[in-house]
Amino acid sequence: MKKKNILLGILLLFIFAHCKNDSNKKNQSGDLKSQGQFSLPDYWKNPTVWQWQREAARTDFIPYENFERAKSKSHPNDTYFKNLNGFWKFKSYEKVNSLPSDIISSTNLDQWDQMSIPNCMEMRNIGKALFKNNKLPFTSDYPNLPENNQTTIFRRTIDIPLLWKDRDVQLIFEGVASAFFVYVNGELAGYSEDSRAISEFSIGKFTKIGINEISVVVLKYCDGSYFENHNMWHLHGIYRNVYLISRPKIKIQDFYAKTLLMKDNTTGQVDLEIDISNSNQTLSSTQKITALVLDTLKEKARKEITYTVDSSSTKVKLKFDIQKIIPWSDELPKTYDLYITQSDSKAQETESIHYRIGFTRIETTNNNLLFNGQKIKLRGIVVNEFHPVTGYTQDKAWLESDAEQMKMQSINAVRNATYPMNPYWYELCDRNGIYGLESANINLADWNGEINNVILEQLKYRLNNSWERNKNHSHIICWSIGSSISDATVVSTLYQELKTKEKQKLISAYNTKLIDPDILFQSSSLQSSIPNTNKLHLFHTMSKNSGNSLGELTDYWNYALATPTCAGGFVADLADQTFMMKYNNEKVYWAYGGLYGESEASSDTTECSNGIYYGNKQTKSIVNHVRNTFTPFHSTMENIKEFKIKLSYLYKFIPSNDFNIFWIIERNGTKIQEGKIEKTFQPNENQTFKLPIEKIVYTEDADYVLKLNYNELKKVNNVFRFLYKGEDQWLIKKRTKYDENSASDLKLIETDSMFEIQNAKNIFQISKQTGFLRKITQDKKDFIKTEMVPYFWRAVTDSDLRTGYSQEREYWKTAHQKIKLISLLITQNTKDKIQIEAKGILQLAEDIPIQITYQFNPRSELNVDASLHLTKAVQVKEPFRFGFKSLFNVAYGKMEFFGRGPMENYIDRNQTASISQHKFPIRDLYTPIVRPQEQGNRTDVSWLSLTTFENDQILIKSDINHLLQVNVLPFDYDELDRIYKKGVDIKLGQSNTMILCEELAGLGNGDFPPSDKYRLKKEVLQCRFNITLQSQQ
């Protein structure tokens, strides 16, 4: 018994000692839930912990070992830099509590997979990619998280060389989503959340010279996910670069280079604050800092300061002026090389930093945005950190192509999509001249709780992560403290937090209760009143290409140009956030929310396809509209008879040396005269020109158009190219005469079911049951395959679904089936003219009268004149359109028209489409888009011909004073309307569709339905056109 008591005492003593040892480590390892299970600290779900042993945020620099190495501007061969990109071993689990106990300590990794880093795990089919539009991918109940929380462990070894002895070792992750723990040689070395921030850990105390092991535990969700309700796919992994650097004990921890352009616009002031860190506080030393500014290799300024380090941190300040500098701007993005080199007491360089700086001055005078003393307008676009194959991971070439495409399309500003982007992107914006609106990684769109002081500290942390990293970038013109923060006190606190640090750039926030921002982020609806229009403002989103929209962009831009207090705005988005996928037959399609293996219920659908480019940077036709809207010239016709034009050059800083302006006269789309305006404009200059156009002998059978084309000579990929930058145009004379067929007597045949109108070669039939045109036969070849029915609908766009515009008008989709024929009368019947009038009632919530008049003449012509009377309609909303739709014979495979083209265009998106004569094979009129929806319309069409390969032709002409809108597609138009999920699923060749109308509602701007002026808000709607059957055999 005594022996048992002794054994029991020893056991209790062992347990007590073991528990005491564990309790000492509790803040590091957490409580074990059960034997055999690895337990992470609870930081990822603990609102009071958002980092542990993470270095304070700092400027995004990587130091070099000395000044000579810094001048190379390349790190791969640097002694104190190790790139950890490449293959890592990994294991992944659906739940955090599924991690086995030896997940960090195990030395047998034979059963582990490996993958190249950086990457997103969902791209390896590990976990589900979920797309959410400003929502969380789980129920919002802070700080609770879903039990299924994909957790991936990455492991690899690193070799610490002997040269790194007695130096600090820093492990740096440029981006990990969304939270992660770092273990070095089995010991917890750090934790971080904020998936868009650079995270740096000092791991020297955990490493040894030689082989070391790093383990990284990445969680898909953490309590910090509640602050990241962005428009994005939710993925996880180490998705940006990861690397090691070795630094001296006394080092440049951070610097803030305030580079101000002085009022003379030729002097630059450098106000440099340098933070020195001493990780060995027993070490006291005299050090020297040398600040050098070079213009390529030419020295512009050099300043030195000697200081003594005797504590953990020291601040060093240098301030100096540089004469004869060139300011940085979007038009001339001049940067200088700043080198900050540290030397020890023996005059030995210990490290050197290189950073590009530019000199700018931002002012808000009289609520105008002045940049370097000039009023500027932001011709902006929204960019997301996304790649169609690798998710969040983007290589340098991909980012470079973004910047290149933006400049080619006359875009001069970027709004990073409510979170900080890849660090290299900021370098590109500095280099290429792209103004930036930078945002903290804060979006509370799906937040439904209170914001207490602990949460406020988390938001400050995220705000500082963004500002500290990017504070030295010249291109940033404005900071956003976040989005959708409803607590006014919190917003004000964040504003003041940043205002105490930021010395020049503007500060604001979107969709928040910020009382008096430096600049107001305005909603994109011009239909709503703009609050306090005397306040400096810009459009956070001017217009969005939601599926197929981007309507009213020209209206917003014209408003910005005409309003001194408006600084411009941003188009959403640059490119789709859709994944490139393949069918088994190798056909490529684009996967949006619900099509990437997840359920449609768990993902938002097509809010990820708002780009003016497809996900792989293939252009959409809408790119032309953006480029032409943002053209660097603006012209006004002052006297069209004398060809007197006022031309304004919109650039603010450089003359127009690289631009060429050509004038062209076209007759039926063919150039008959051309010339060049030999003029170099100075910034902001405008001048009136009388073009030296020779006398034009006008004919009645032609349309005449005057165009001004703007081209820029620009170096692209080291090759000089002429880049088209847009055009202005004027229709100077309309066509009034067309070739006429020979006449042959008309004949009317009546049966129980139809009226048939004949001449020598052609037949028209009208149904007595419906009153609609049911047959057109040309030389025994049937043209239409279905009745030509009145049509009131257009296929639904993503924008329509988002705004509810289509749901409120769904009854118009089948309204043509609800027309009750009241009368069908022959009002004239001679060999020279037959006229038939159909009257009916459209039976919706209230009766709406409709009338169609058919008039036939001996030259195989049919004039259609239709009207819809909405005078007394109260309960029924206006239709999308009033026109006619029919399927027609695929033998008519060629289309030619005079109107706006060549790309599709709509009444609120047609101002930049070229007025000319355009010709297509009908099969080429369809480009598979992400999700089938409205597409293919052309506006201001005066005539349209559909031709067979035997040259049988159907000619459709507008009324002389009322141009047509037409849509011709190589399939049934109904297939665009929510039948298929993917654009590539539509099959061509069964039939063609033709839709004719005078009026069609606009597409809207992606956030709101079309404005009233782009709707059918008339009491009487009309549709008039002429169909002529022409044979050219």
Q: What is the DSSP letter of 206?
A: G
pLDDT of residue 35: 40
Is the distance from CB of 424 to CB of 396 less than 8 angstroms? yes
Report DSSP state, residue 759. Answer: -
539 neighbors 556 (Cβ within 8 angstroms): yes
First to last CA, the chain: 120
For residues 1004-1015, average pLDDT: 92
| pLDDT, tens digit, 9 for 90 and up, residues 870-920 | 998 889 999 999 999 999 999 999 999 999 999 999 999 999 999 999 999
**Helical (H) or strand (E) element with 1029:** strand 1020-1031
SS3 982: coil
Query: pLDDT tens for residues 716-761?
Result: 777 888 899 999 999 999 999 998 888 889 999 999 999 999 998 8
Q: E strand or H helix at 1025, and its extent? A: strand 1020-1031
Mean per-residue pLDDT over the chain, rounded: 92
Domains by residue range for the chain, with CATH: 34-247 (2.60.120.260), 250-362 (2.60.40.10), 365-575+621-627 (3.20.20.80), 577-610 (no CATH), 631-733 (2.60.40.10), 780-816+867-1031 (2.70.98.10)
State how far the Cα of 175 lies from the Cα of 465, in Å rounded to an integer.
12
Q: Would you state the pLDDT for residue 601?
A: 67
Q: How many residues would you count in the chain?
A: 1033
- Asked whether the predicted pLDDT for residue 3 surpasses 50, the reply is no
Confidence of residue 285 (pLDDT cuts 50, 70, 90): confident
Band of pLDDT at residue 1030, cut at 50, 70 and 90? confident
pLDDT at 31 over 70: no
Judge contact between 506 and 362, C-beta under 8 A: yes
For 435-457, the pLDDT digits (tens) are: 999 999 999 999 998 999 999 99
Best CA proximity match to 28, nearest among 15, 43, 12, 16: 43
Contact 997, 924 (CB under 8 A): no
Q: What are phi and psi of 14, to 5 degrees?
A: -65, -45
Q: For position 514, what pLDDT does the model report? A: 74
Q: What is the pLDDT of residue 532?
A: 52
Q: Is the pLDDT of residue 7 over 60?
A: no
766 pLDDT tier (thresholds 50, 70, 90) = very high
pTM: 0.93
- What are the pLDDT digits (tens) for 155-170? 999 999 999 999 999 9
DSSP 930: S
> HSE on the CB side for 943, CA within 13 Å?
20
Which residues contact residue 14 at a Cβ distance below 8 angstroms, ignoring those fewer than 6 apart?
none
Bond before 110 cis per omega within 30 degrees: no
pLDDT band at 313 (very low <50, low <70, confident <90, very high): confident
Q: Per the structure block, which two tokens stand in for 387?
A: 């790649």
Question: pLDDT tens digits, residue range 520-572?
Answer: 998 776 555 555 568 999 999 999 999 999 999 999 999 999 999 999 999 99
Taking a C-beta distance cutoff of 8 angstroms, is the pair 761, 860 a contact? yes
Dihedral over alpha carbons 964, 965, 969, 972 (to 10 degrees): -100
How confident is the model over 584-613, as pLDDT tens digits? 878 899 999 888 877 766 788 778 999 999
Given a cut of 80, whether residue 112 has pLDDT beyond it is yes
User: pLDDT for 655-672, tens place per residue?
Assistant: 999 999 999 999 999 999
How many other CB atoms are found less than 10 A from the CB of residue 807? Answer: 10
Quote the percentage of the chain above a pLDDT of 70: 95
Residue-wise over 827-842: b if at least 16 C-beta within 10 A, else e?
Answer: eebeeeebbbbbebeb
pLDDT confidence of residue 36: 59
